[in-house]
Structure 1
């Protein structure tokens, strides 16, 4: 791990965007920060808002959460006061708050993806393998299967909760994530109580 990680929480004002918007959000942010592609250590959570229906999210007064090394904060601050365009909808970003990572014993991710892990058995095996590689001791529990669109392709993953984490394992899992596509909302963990879907 390269120094402490933090979450930057930008207030967002906007209208309706697709519920499945991880790739669109990454694309919009990349227009503002062209070198974002070269920063795999920056995680981009899906926007927080209110579900309008099965396919749309009403951002309203929502939140954009970015997880990054503390030394990357200055690089991301120019997003404050900017406008992103997501599926034709303008999203206005305010000044962010910096949130230090805590060390809860239970963490949840809305979506985790692994290559070739399309069913629960293969996915569970991948989770155990990669948790061990990260040096994280915990008890994983699979949630619902989800399919998201990334660059025109359908990607299969599962919601995941990992319980009985030590403080060190909790911090490591939040810092390093699990699986791929962290730029598109995948493999990023929050305290279990934060996850509503």
Structure 2
């Protein structure tokens, strides 16, 4: 399950017209999401209504990013990046990892709250991926808390591309 994009507001995320619940499934599991169409979900004291599921196949690309990757014990950019590169190598992925930067040039540090704990990670991009390596990373991700949407990768949209 991917994290849902929105605008942070106090202790919640304000959903926008571009907010989406994205669930990555194996082909034989797709049928499990159709009964959710039109249903309401209660998240804390908030309710959202789900639309009709849209299906997209994983497609290889030379550049992927994750909104947040968490690797326990690695909260400094240099050691985190080395640990991320090791995890890629363990999956047999030859791409190069880098932490994206804020406008001031500092590493894009991210955090999520899980129960009463705040967990810190970084926004990560992987470049120079072969088709096979790209699909492997899309399937498996890296880091921890992937069931919480961390370490899940998506294609980087190219500037000027409408997709």
TM-score, length basis structure 2:
0.84
Q: Sort the Cα spacing of 1:57 and 1:153 in 2 relative to 1 into closer, same or farther, 3 A.
A: closer
- Structure-2 residue corresponding to 1:59: 15
1:160 aligned onto 2:124: yes
For structure 2, list consecutive stretches of 5 or more residues without a partner in the other structure.
Answer: 101-107, 159-163
Cα contact 2:62–2:129 (8 A) shared by 1: yes
Residue 48 of structure 1: how far off its partner (Å): 3.4
Retained in 1: the 8 A contact 2:110–2:122? yes
Distance 1:57 1:123, change over 3 A: same
Aligned counterpart for 2:47 among listed residues 90, 95, 107 = 90
2:141 corresponds to which residue? 177
Q: Deviations over 1:113-157 (max 9, x none)?
A: 011111112211211110001111101111211122112112110
Which string of whole-angstrom CA distances, capped at 9 and with x for unpartnered residues, describes residues 80-133 of structure 1? Answer: 221111231110001101101111100000000011111112211211110001
Structure 1 stretches lacking a partner, 5+ long: 1-43
- State the alpha-carbon separation in 1 of the partners of residues 9 and 45 from structure 2: 18
With the length of structure 1 as denominator, give the TM-score of the two structures. 0.71
Structure 1 counterpart of 2:59: 102
Secondary structure of the corresponding residue to residue 22 of structure 2: strand
Q: Which residue of 1 aligns with 2:73?
A: 116
CA RMSD after TM alignment? 1.7
The CA distance in 2 between the partners of 1:75 and 1:151, in whole Å, is 27
Seen in structure 2, the aligned counterparts of structure 1 residues 150 and 56 have a Cα distance that, compared at 3 Å, is closer
Runs of 4+ in 1 over 6 A off after TM superposition: none
Deviation at 1:76, TM superposition (A): 2.5
1:60 Cα offset (Å): 4.0
Matched, 1:130 2:94: no
Q: Distance in 1 between matches of 2:89 and 2:149?
A: 22
1:125 alignment partner, SS class? helix
How far does residue 75 in structure 1 lie from its aligned partner after superposition? 2.2
> Kindly tell me: are residues 46 and 136 of structure 1, through their superposed partners in 2, closer, same or farther at Cα, counting changes over 3 Å?
same
